[in-house]
């Protein structure tokens, strides 16, 4: 196991928290991958059953539910891997100090926005639970069931953004920008 005192120049307790959070982000990424496989299974089953002339209710809804879960559960992992689309063209033209401040502002603003989104998504799940909302589709599933994985994904994404903003503020190092260096390839040195 790596030495916690050497991790980004911060103490052991913070290193353990960051390690646990990174594991959480990877776990959510794995769940998102499972959800993507479920989308393929549901769509494939829907195609096969239609070709056979058999109607199986809920396959289309299941694919939609899995898509929502994959989209939100994968956000934290993709963010940590530097895979989210970011507009760096303007930032690259800025001096390093301004670029750092703009990057910190963008991370903090995204943290606030996604925290609000996660809060209201959790609220929607709670309301669906309280009122016993049922899907309008042929599956008749209680709506809180497919909403819950999507809400969990947004909560974990909010945690990842706050984590990145705090890490950036405390250490001056971007958890995401460090991953960008691997993407930069000089022409002729591929």
In the three-class reduction of DSSP (H, G, I as helix; E, B as strand; rest coil), residue 102 is classed as helix
* 167, pLDDT greater than 80: yes
d(CA 42, CA 10): 46
Terminal CA-to-CA distance of the chain, rounded, Å?
33
The predicted structure's pLDDT at residue 75: 93
Question: What is the average per-residue pLDDT within 72-97?
Answer: 81
Any bridge partners for residue 134, and if so which?
A: 142
* Chain CA centroid to CA 124, Å: 19
pLDDT for 118-135, tens place per residue?
999 999 999 999 999 998
Average pLDDT, the chain: 84
Nearest to 99, CA basis, from 15, 177, 34 = 177
Count of CA atoms in the C-beta half-sphere (13 A) of 38: 20
Q: 8-16 — which CB contacts under 8 Å span 24+ positions?
A: 8/167, 8/171, 8/173, 9/171, 10/170, 10/171
Q: What is the pTM of this model?
A: 0.82
């Amino acid at each position: 196991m790596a030495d916690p005192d050497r991790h980004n120049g911060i103490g052991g307790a913070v290193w353990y928290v960051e390690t646990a959070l990174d594991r959480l982000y990877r776990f959510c990424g794995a769940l998102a991958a499972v959800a993507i496989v479920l989308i393929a299974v549901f769509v494939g089953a829907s195609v096969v059953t239609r070709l056979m002339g058999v109607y199986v209710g809920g396959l289309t809804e299941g694919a939609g539910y899995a898509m929502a879960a994959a989209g939100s559960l994968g956000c934290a992992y993709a963010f940590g891997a530097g895979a989210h689309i970011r507009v760096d063209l303007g930032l690259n033209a800025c001096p390093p100090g301004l670029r750092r401040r703009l990057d910190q502002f963008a991370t903090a603003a995204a943290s606030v926005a996604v925290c609000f989104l996660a809060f209201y998504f959790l609220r929607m799940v709670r309301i669906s639970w309280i009122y016993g909302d049922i899907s309008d589709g042929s599956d008749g599933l209680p709506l809180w069931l497919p909403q819950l994985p999507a809400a969990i994904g947004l909560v974990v994404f909010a945690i990842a953004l706050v984590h990145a903003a705090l890490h950036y503020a405390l250490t001056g190092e971007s958890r995401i920008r460090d991953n960008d260096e691997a993407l930069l390839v000089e022409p002729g040195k591929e």
